[in-house]
Amino acid sequence: MSHLVVIGAGIVGLNCALSAQRRGWRVTLIDRDFEGDRASHGNAGGLAVSECVPLSLAGLGLRPLRWLVDPLGPLAIRPAHAPRLLPWYRALRKISQKGNFARIGDALAALNQHALDPFMAMLAELGLSGDLHRNGALSVYETDGAFLRDQPSWQFRRERGVRWREVGREELHALEPGLAPVFARAIMIEDWAHIDDPRRIVDRLRHYLAGHGARLVTGEATALVMAEDGGAGARLADGTVVRGDRVLVAAGAWAARLARTVGDVALLESERGYNTTLPHSAHRLSREVLFAEAMFVATPLSVGLRIGGAAEFAGLQAPANYRRSDALLALSRRYITSLDERDNHKWMGHRPATPDSLPVIGRSPHSPRVLYAFGHGHLGLTQSAITGELIGDLLDDRPTAIDLSPYGIDRFRRGGAHQAARPVPAPANHGRTRDAAIRQQEPAARTGSTP
């Protein structure tokens, strides 16, 4: 029986392990702390299958500068981290160049279109089908101006198969009576879904895997190991080597340093997000709501109403600044009526973010024994099960359901993410093309108002 070693027991690593186990692989999971906190525990719980608009800062005018000097704005960079962020930031700036943007949107849409079915199959296998709520999400706007400014990005999504429709004030009130009557316009995103509790799925999945024979090894992986006899695995901080036939790096925001130990380079940052969960307010909403101008989301989980978002670049070590959770909660008081804030719980998590918004899924160019599944950014829960399927196909040496070339780790070597470091001439009719219009529109949707 072939043996897969998986580093990282977040939602991505666990789904890959499940897929491998289903295909007859023996699985060993390594994590530094199986019970400990991680992005996969505290996220917003959205199956955000409509989100194919890449993260970008283009077209925001001076707003990012204002945010950067506001430590509680939707986007923040801690000054001490700024020099380390530079290569990632340079690559991010190239994403909105003509051609890149649409290509990345296509690659995100390809994953998302395949995301829901395997996710539902995973829930069914765990006996958690009832945890999924397929009643869409609402993106709400206070002003006509903001709504109109966002139209090109909605069009961008529609061109990639996303179903959405406009909702009037009366219907909005009927759908979500807990929202304050301050919204001029809304969009219903039909295929969006949400789950009851991200942590419950992670815990159930881990127990399920262990119950079906997976070995759980607690330890910090410090390097990937390639054995001369054809095996592969990981070296742990205490010197132990965990060996299998293949090794998969699914270590979330920590993955790049492991890839580097076999010579692979990935631009990966922790895009820290914050939220507050209000256990006594879960029923104020019945579906996830995206507050477009204020750039945060609220999801009615079984564990409470979870309110959060934001993007903070401060690296993996800096302590959390929970005033950001407070700031988002304060904003939400204007928009959601009668919030009961007793026993609330604040949280921060590390989104594993690449500059081109695409995950890294595939084999190492250095060795087919090393596989990668990390960098899912805002969409790790959404894309976890399809990532597992794709990794399973690679393990079986079968053709994958979608072309994996956009997600390869070698894209960072080829001149940054999606030719990010290669100069691309500015479009001749800058500011008038549809692409330019999209660039004007999309960032607000991907700096904070998505999960």
SS3 of the chain: helix, strand, coil, percent, to 5: 35, 25, 40
349 binds ligand FAD (CB under 6 A): yes
Locate 282 and state its tokens. Answer: 């879960």
362 binds ligand FAD (CB under 6 A): no
Using CB under 6 A, which of 6, 27, 38, 175 touches ligand FAD? 38
Give the strand pairing for 193-195 and 132-133.
antiparallel
Cα distance between residue 245 and residue 358, in whole Å: 27
Give the strand pairing for 288-291 and 360-363.
unpaired
| Element of type H or E holding 327 | helix 323-335
345 binds ligand FAD (CB under 6 A): no
Residue partners of 428: CB distance under 8 A and separation at least 6 = none
Cα distance between residue 123 and residue 200, in whole Å: 11
301 binds ligand FAD (CB under 6 A): no
CB 202 within 8 A of CB 41: yes
Strand partners, 155: none
325 vs 440 by CB, closer to ligand FAD: 325
9 binds ligand FAD (CB under 6 A): yes
Neighbours of 427 (CB within 10 A): 15
- Mark residues 45-64: x for contact with ligand FAD by CB under 6 A, - for none: xx-x----------------
335 vs 436 by CB, closer to ligand FAD: 335
Residue partners of 449: CB distance under 8 A and separation at least 6 = 139, 290, 291, 292, 294, 295, 296, 297, 309
Q: How far is the CB of 396 from ligand FAD (least distance, A)?
A: 22
Footprint (CB under 6 A) of ligand FAD, residues 210-229:
220-221
Cα distance between residue 271 and residue 77, in whole Å: 10
Residue partners of 208: CB distance under 8 A and separation at least 6 = 18, 125, 126
Q: How far is the CB of 387 from ligand FAD (least distance, A)?
A: 9
244 binds ligand FAD (CB under 6 A): no
251 vs 266 by CB, closer to ligand FAD: 251
451 binds ligand FAD (CB under 6 A): yes
Cα distance between residue 44 and residue 6, in whole Å: 25
59 vs 451 by CB, closer to ligand FAD: 451
199 binds ligand FAD (CB under 6 A): no
Using CB under 6 A, which of 254, 296, 335, 372 touches ligand FAD? 254
352 binds ligand FAD (CB under 6 A): yes
200 vs 351 by CB, closer to ligand FAD: 351
108 binds ligand FAD (CB under 6 A): no
Using CB under 6 A, which of 58, 256, 379, 436 touches ligand FAD? 379
Which of the stretches 181-189, 250-258, 325-333, 409-417 binds ligand FAD when contact is defined by CB under 6 A?
250-258
308 binds ligand FAD (CB under 6 A): yes
378 binds ligand FAD (CB under 6 A): yes
Phi (first) and psi of residue 403, to 5 degrees: -65, 125
Locate 151 and state its tokens. Answer: 């139209």
45 vs 392 by CB, closer to ligand FAD: 45
33 binds ligand FAD (CB under 6 A): yes
> C-alpha distances in angstroms, 232 versus 5, 229, 372?
8, 9, 13
Using CB under 6 A, which of 19, 21, 28, 43 touches ligand FAD? 43
32 binds ligand FAD (CB under 6 A): yes
Residue partners of 266: CB distance under 8 A and separation at least 6 = 255, 256, 259, 354, 360, 372, 374, 375, 409, 412
203 binds ligand FAD (CB under 6 A): no
275 binds ligand FAD (CB under 6 A): yes
Footprint (CB under 6 A) of ligand FAD, residues 163-182:
none
Q: In a 3-state reduction of DSSP, which class is residue 439?
A: helix
233 binds ligand FAD (CB under 6 A): no
7 binds ligand FAD (CB under 6 A): yes
380 binds ligand FAD (CB under 6 A): yes
* Helical axes 82-95 vs 100-113, angle rounded to 10°: 90
CB 128 within 8 A of CB 119: no
Q: How far is the CB of 442 from ligand FAD (least distance, A)?
A: 18
Footprint (CB under 6 A) of ligand FAD, residues 381-440:
381-382
Which of the stretches 317-325, 343-351, 364-372, 418-426 binds ligand FAD when contact is defined by CB under 6 A?
343-351
Query: Could you list the residues that contact ligand FAD (CB under 6 A)?
Result: 7-13, 30-33, 38-40, 43-46, 48, 220-221, 250-254, 258, 273, 275, 308, 349-352, 374, 376-382, 451
